Copies of this chain bind each other. A is one copy, B any other.
Amino acid sequence: MRRAALVAATVEEIGEAGTLDVTVGQIARRAGMSSALAHHYFGGKAQIFLAAMRHIQSEYAAEVRRCLQQAEPGKRLEALISANFAPICFAPATVSAWLNFYVLAQSDKDAARLLQIYQKRLHSNLVHALRGRCAAPEQVAEVLAAQIDGTYLRAALAGESINGAEEAVLLAAKALMETS
């Protein structure tokens, strides 16, 4: 499928360049087609990138479901954190795409809407996972969401030493639950 190839090529290209300033031509060439065809299938550059982010988010959502399902009831939070740092979600190119997506969401309405969906879902997942394990799930969820995003940010910049990221978030989570 051409659309799938373009979505994959988009993530790879952005991951390699580290910026959203990749041309449609580059993406199309990597996907093995002409830039005109890319336009034919998606209409424009913005829509190509949004499709790529939707794909990343659906893979993320699937990973979350998978981890939550096979988690014992009292370990939902650990499963949720684990999902965020699964290889599919935490690959350098993926993280780089996220970082650029954040920047885009500041100026692009569609990106902002897509981001809000992710944030709301993460928040509600966190609150649910925290219920019964701390006194103020809402407040702790906010803090933990920032912790996850911040760890992502640093991962995108570190490149290599991504080790310890999940452990860091787990540490914060445990500390927050024990003291609130």
A residues with a Cβ closer than 8 A to B are: 17-20, 96, 99-100, 102-107, 112, 115, 139, 142-143, 145-154, 156-157, 164, 168-169, 171-172, 174-176, 178-180
Which of A147, A148, A168: most chain B Cβ within 10 A? A147
Residue of B99, B104, B112, B147 touching A172 (CB-CB under 8 A)? B147
Complex contact B157–A146 (CB within 8 A): no
A147's partner among B99, B139, B146, B180 (CB-CB below 8 A) is B146
In the bound assembly, the distance between CA atoms of A18 and B103 in angstroms comes to: 7
- Complex copy number for this chain: 2
Q: Which residues of B contact A169 (CB under 8 A)?
A: 143
In the complex, 9 of the A-B residue pairs with CB atoms within 8 angstroms, ordered by the A residue number, are: A18-B107, A99-B106, A115-B157, A143-B171, A145-B154, A148-B150, A171-B180, A174-B179, A175-B180
Nearest CB in chain B: distance from A160 CB, A: 13
Query: With the chains together, A149 CA to B175 CA distance in Å?
Result: 19
Contact A103 to B99, CB < 8 A, known contacts A143-B171, A150-B146, A175-B179: yes
* Apart from A99-B106, A175-B175, 11 more pairs, CB < 8 Å: A19-B104, A102-B156, A142-B164, A142-B168, A143-B147, A143-B171, A146-B153, A147-B147, A148-B150, A174-B179, A179-B179
